[in-house]
Amino acid sequence: MFNDVTSTAVRSALDALSMRQRVIADNMANVNTPGFLAGRVTFESELAGAVRSGSGAVSGTVARSLEPTRENGNNVNLDHEVLANIDTGLRYQLMVRAVDHEFSLVRAAARTQ
pLDDT tens digit sequence for 24-59: 999 999 999 999 999 999 999 999 999 999 998 999
Task: Give every CB contact of residue 90 below 8 A, 6+ residues apart in sequence.
Answer: none
pLDDT tens digit sequence for 54-78: 998 999 999 999 999 999 999 999 9
CA angle 104, 105, 106 (to 5 degrees): 90
pLDDT value at position 109?
Answer: 80
Low-confidence winner among 24-28, 84-88, 102-106 (lowest mean pLDDT): 102-106
Quickly state the pLDDT bin for 84 (edges 50, 70, 90).
Answer: very high
The DSSP-derived string for 1-26 is: -TTSHHHHHHHHHHHHHHHHHHHHHH
Q: In this model, does residue 91 exceed pLDDT 80? A: yes
Residue 69 parent element (H or E): none
Quickly state the pLDDT bin for 1 (edges 50, 70, 90).
Answer: low
pLDDT value at position 106?
Answer: 81
Provide the 3-class DSSP secondary structure of residue 45.
helix
